[in-house]
Structure 1
Amino acid sequence: MFVVVASCFLVMLYKLMSFWFIEVLVVLFCIGGIEGLQTCLVTLLSCFRCFKGFAESFIKVPFFGAVSHLTLAVCPFCIAFAVVWAVYRTISFAWIGQDILGIALIITVLQIVRVPNLKVGTVLLGCAFLYDIFWVFVSKWWFHESVMIVVARGDRSGEDGIPMLLKIPRMYDPWGGYSVIGFGDIILPGLLVAFSLRYDWLTKTPLRAGYFIWAMTAYGLGLLVTYVALNMMDGHGQPALLYIVPFTLGTFITLGKKRGDLKTLWTRGEPERPCPHVQLQPLEQKD
């Protein structure tokens, strides 16, 4: 289902790639970025004692229900930030604003969406793995060009590409340009990384002995190999999930099997815990 929906969306992007369609995506990105930036700022400011009272006091807003005073105070700044980026997104340093909005959106998605167990995570990442390879490499046979790369670069729209990616200027590149990574290459493996962190919390495992450090390290290595392959292929676009998925998923499954947790991770997704509402009484021995 994930592959079908994502493929239909990507083909629609490819066929309708034009200036007005990119503008629609920019509006949608700004809406998501505003929500993500607001959530991150409210969470961050709530940690400070001087803002805690504003975060815990609420006011009823039409159509939105109860909203904290801190959220109302932060919201205008988030809207202004997104609007300024949208207006000036073609200037040289606009990538900073795009990355801030994108990172905030990614963090919010990872807070909301959760992988229940390793089985679901394996199916999801497996489908994304095949999807990424198909639309970067195999799609050239049908469309005579890589659909994923055309959509990412925005070659047909007259702009720098869709905003649903993080970008940073290339260092020591005489032709300029940006190194980019799509949101899917972060969010989908990130769901597995977030799952590993939740499992460590539930098992009360120290950070050094848990799965989270290994999952983060594996993701970093997969990303490093992606950029090595990118440089070896003379800058031709590479499907990041081709390298990231085997590293993250392979490390998680291998480590789970070695520690004897694979069955629990695969099915339950959390350790067995006694119900806190049921207190077992010791059996009395009869003489």
Structure 2
Amino acid sequence: MAVLRVLFLPVLVALLLLAGPGRAAADDASRSYRGNAASPGCSNKFQLVKVKNWVNGSEGTTLVGLSAAFGASLPATVNEARKAFSVLTDPLDCCSNVTTKLTNSIAIATRGGCPFTAKAENAQAAGAAGLLVINDSEELYAMVCNENDTSINVTIPVLMIPQSAGKNLKDLLDQGARVELQLYSPIRPVVELSAGFLLIMAVGTIVCSSLWSEFVACEQVDEHYNQITRQEGPNSGTNHRQEKEIFEISAKGAAVFIVVASVFLLLLFYLMSSWVTWVLIVFFCIGGIEGMHSCLVTIFSRIFKEWGQKTVEVPFLGEILTLSVGILPFCTVFAILWVVYRRSSFAWIGQDILGICLMITVLQMARLPNIRVASALLSAAFVYDIFWVFISPLIFHESVMIAVASGDSSGEAIPMLLRIPRFFDPWGGYDMIGFGDIIFPGLLVAFSYRFDRAGKKGILNGYFLWLTVGYAVGLFLTYLALFLMDGHGQPALLYLVPCTLGLIVVLGWIRGELPDLWNYGRRSENLVEQV
């Protein structure tokens, strides 16, 4: 494991650079649409639409579309929706009088160059029961009214589907297949339990990381953090008497870190491809193996103390715990199986386990010395997250952070986040949170616990409990904003930093302890190994 621990350092950097895209956001591609109603006649709220289809009597894959700002609304359940045969319009763009008989059928047309309202009116005049427009790209654009449309007379439902799905339908109809369609728009639940489970996982990871050294690894928390250096400690999974590596983050390092993160993010934005994503997947697996190995060895050594004493000589690596040698293959196989089944419906479980173990290990290795450094790091991360999520679209025409987190066009996504399926959402998808949205505030929460222990503070008059509650509230506000913004990506640190850093600063000021928090550990600053 000594080799893995050396390799883990660049993995740590890569994870922290990429993690933190306020991707508590919905990952449905169908949520990517643009446009607003331009006139009072276009007052419909845009809705995602499910398109069930049957080809020659056999049910096909359900498609997803987007309704227009005009026309009839669709039923919310499949039982209320009626089947209708689909027919290609002639002309295909439906921009002039339609010669095809469309009575009680769903007309299928290509985008063309005329207003969407004109297409709908032409299809309706030919007797169509609905209009399905095939877009010329995979992105769904909102179909709005033209500024010159003063009176809209469309009473049929109108929707758009992506190019690939529409091309398949068009090809089937060209080949003479009988295609039946059923259109409906399920309503999303107001409260989705998966967001609550994700909040519990994120808060639990931070609490576990903060308490790990004292209650799991059986290490006494040093009451004078300014004297912490590389210490001898219980074996964490490598050599029997390996020194525990603790890296203190400096204020200068925090500033450099954010600059490097921004440059790296831009490189990924312009160079994103399947091989780049695979490199990051490999980094994630290496870090996950190291994290899981470290956690399991520590836990088993805690439960079965005699296992933590048996060693074996390994060529090139020297004396290593027998337990460590036995657990490493299990962790490696676990990560490999996750890679093999990463696109399966249950792959999120393996990804979350690897991610949580990785973050616990990271929060054991990296530490904040005081609030001065915490303010530099979290304030920079706060600006970084907001800029690359909200402001970058004004410069790069799309959100750089969300584009990178979404992965490349092959469907491969960067795994540096926790995710959980929306179990009760008819539209499916996942709720997510980036590693950075846990690690950055987690460093501050872990510091608050060490500060409380050093000052022998109780639960209520300390800072750890209140920062943990503040983090949970910040995450709740993130999902509330996500709901109010109709699922558009949110920079989670926009809410988490004020609820953690802001909280400890206010509490410290009220209690008269802000100078102690600000200058904690500065007397021997040069004695601590820095990153």
Query: Normalising by structure 2, what TM-score?
Result: 0.49
Aligned with 1:197 (options 439, 443, 449): 449
**Are 1:39 and 2:276 counterparts?**
no
Seen in structure 2, the aligned counterparts of structure 1 residues 116 and 60 have a Cα distance that, compared at 3 Å, is farther
In 1, the alpha carbon distance for the partners of 2:267 and 2:318 equals 36
Q: How does 1:3-22 map onto structure 2 within 5 Å?
A: 3-22=258-277
Secondary structure of 1:90's aligned partner: coil
User: How far apart are 1:270 and its partner, in Å?
Assistant: 8.9
In 2, the alpha carbon distance for the partners of 1:251 and 1:25 equals 34
Aligned with 1:239 (options 491, 496, 501): 491
**Are 1:257 and 2:509 counterparts?**
yes
Assess if the C-alpha contact under 8 Å between 1:122 and 1:249 holds in 2: yes
User: How far apart are 1:18 and its partner, in Å?
Assistant: 1.3
Q: Which residue of 1 aligns with 2:323?
A: 70
Deviates more, 1:71-80 or 1:200-209: 200-209
Identity %: 58
In 2, the alpha carbon distance for the partners of 1:11 and 1:170 equals 31
Q: Which residue of 2 aligns with 1:167?
A: 419
User: How far apart are 1:20 and its partner, in Å?
Assistant: 1.3
In 2, the alpha carbon distance for the partners of 1:226 and 1:64 equals 46
Gapped regions of structure 2 (runs ≥ 5): 1-255, 524-531
The one-letter amino acid paired with 2:281 is V
Gapped regions of structure 1 (runs ≥ 5): 272-287
Secondary structure of 1:236's aligned partner: coil
More strand, by proportion:
2
| Structure with bigger RCO (C-alpha 8 Å, 6+ apart) | 2
User: How far apart are 1:269 and its partner, in Å?
Assistant: 4.5
Assess if the C-alpha contact under 8 Å between 2:274 and 2:412 holds in 1: no
User: How far apart are 1:65 and its partner, in Å?
Assistant: 4.0
Aligned with 1:135 (options 378, 384, 388): 388
The one-letter amino acid paired with 2:359 is I
Assess if the C-alpha contact under 8 Å between 2:277 and 2:412 holds in 1: no
User: How far apart are 1:25 and its partner, in Å?
Assistant: 0.8
Q: Which residue of 2 aligns with 1:217?
A: 469
Q: How does 1:257-276 map onto structure 2 within 5 Å?
A: 257-269=509-521
User: How far apart are 1:159 and its partner, in Å?
Assistant: 2.1
Q: Which residue of 2 aligns with 1:282?
A: none
Query: Normalising by structure 1, what TM-score?
Result: 0.90
Seen in structure 2, the aligned counterparts of structure 1 residues 78 and 199 have a Cα distance that, compared at 3 Å, is same
Instruction: Find the structure with the greater CA-based Rg.
Output: 2
Assess if the C-alpha contact under 8 Å between 1:22 and 1:157 holds in 2: no
In 1, the alpha carbon distance for the partners of 2:370 and 2:289 equals 30
More helix, by proportion:
1
Deviates more, 1:240-249 or 1:196-205: 196-205
In 1, the alpha carbon distance for the partners of 2:484 and 2:322 equals 52
Assess if the C-alpha contact under 8 Å between 1:133 and 1:239 holds in 2: yes
Assess if the C-alpha contact under 8 Å between 1:229 and 1:238 holds in 2: yes
In 1, the alpha carbon distance for the partners of 2:300 and 2:460 equals 28
Secondary structure of 1:47's aligned partner: helix
How many residues are paired up? 268
Output one character per residue of 1:58-85: Cα deviation in whole Å (capped at 9) or x when no partner.
3343444432121111111100100000
- Structure 1 runs (4+) greater than 4 angstroms displaced: none
In 1, the alpha carbon distance for the partners of 2:402 and 2:354 equals 22
Q: Which residue of 1 aligns with 2:359?
A: 106
In 1, the alpha carbon distance for the partners of 2:316 and 2:276 equals 29
In 1, the alpha carbon distance for the partners of 2:390 and 2:515 equals 35
**Are 1:59 and 2:302 counterparts?**
no
Seen in structure 2, the aligned counterparts of structure 1 residues 254 and 163 have a Cα distance that, compared at 3 Å, is same
Seen in structure 2, the aligned counterparts of structure 1 residues 256 and 66 have a Cα distance that, compared at 3 Å, is farther
